Amino acid sequence: MLEVLQIPVLKDNYIYLIHDRRSGETAAVDPAEANPVLEALAANGWKLTHILNTHHHGDHVGGNLELKRRTGCRIVASERDLKRIPGIDLAVGDEAVVTFGRFEARVLDVPGHTRGHIAYWLAGANALFCGDTLFALGCGRLFEGTPEEMWRSLEKLRVLPPETKVYCAHEYTQSNAGFALTVEPENAALKERMAQIVELRRQGKPTVPSTLKEELATNPFLRPESEEIQANLGMTNADPVDVFAETRRRKDLF
């Protein structure tokens, strides 16, 4: 069984500890800081064996070197980010497989937010660790990529099994839902999800992970074919890349 421990840090980041009970291996996904990870490891009696980085931004790699120094773990990251992510031991590319205990993490190149962004899909656990490429009800800003690149990346993710749990790296969901309703206000599933999100946040609970099934039904960045979205953008029958680009432009101004 794969255990996933979610650690909230900074303002709205999530670090994930994933632990294979049988092998005892434990990985930290995008450790923004070292101390919260070390405290969680101690509390659970786990030893850190891996760090899985999705991209080079400081709020995803800030704890790398301290954790490596303290635990001797191996750092896995994109081969495109060898000069930007500290401490890489294993540089990987698209479709590489990282063995983690009894599980295999398939690496997916998903550029757009950054040029070296990758995601890790653990099919045996129905778990996707996607950093800042796909959010609950959103997607990352295009800091280093084009709309076409980002859309192709999202296409890779939206064909994964619908039961896949989406472990994104930030708690942006309520704001994302507010924007989603501006482009698809009659989406009944979206309206219902917004009510659930408001209640979760009122209780101080996370809205992450979601499932890919939920995202496909409600996330406008996965839904450029939606007739309602196209109509509200004045882009009926437009190319999905163009609809995605306009949706992302509007989100940047939201």
**What residues are designated binding site?**
55, 57, 59-60, 113, 132, 170
Output the CA angle 100-128-87, nearest 5 degrees.
Answer: 55
Active site residue 60: yes
The question of whether 19 is a catalytic residue gets the answer no
Catalytic residue among 55, 56, 81, 109: 55
Whether 59 is catalytic: yes
* Residue 56 among the catalytic residues: no
> Which listed residue (19, 50, 56, 60) is catalytic?
60
Catalytic residue from among 19, 20, 50, 59: 59
DSSP labels for 223-247? -TT-HHHHHHHT-TT--HHHHHHHH
Among residues 129, 124, 127, 164, the alpha carbon closest in space to that of 22 is found at 124
User: Is 57 among the catalytic positions?
Assistant: yes
What is d(CA 131, CA 151) in angstroms, rounded to the nearest whole number?
16
Instruction: Assess whether 117 carries a catalytic annotation.
Output: no
Per annotation, catalytic residue among 56, 57, 81, 109: 57
Tell me how many degrees the CA angle 153-173-136 measures, rounded to the nearest 5: 30
> Known binding site for Zn(2+): residues?
55, 57, 59-60, 113, 132, 170
For residue 14, report the phi and psi dihedrals to the nearest 5 degrees: -120, 130
Amino acid, res. 197: I
Which residues carry out catalysis? 55, 57, 59-60, 113, 132, 170
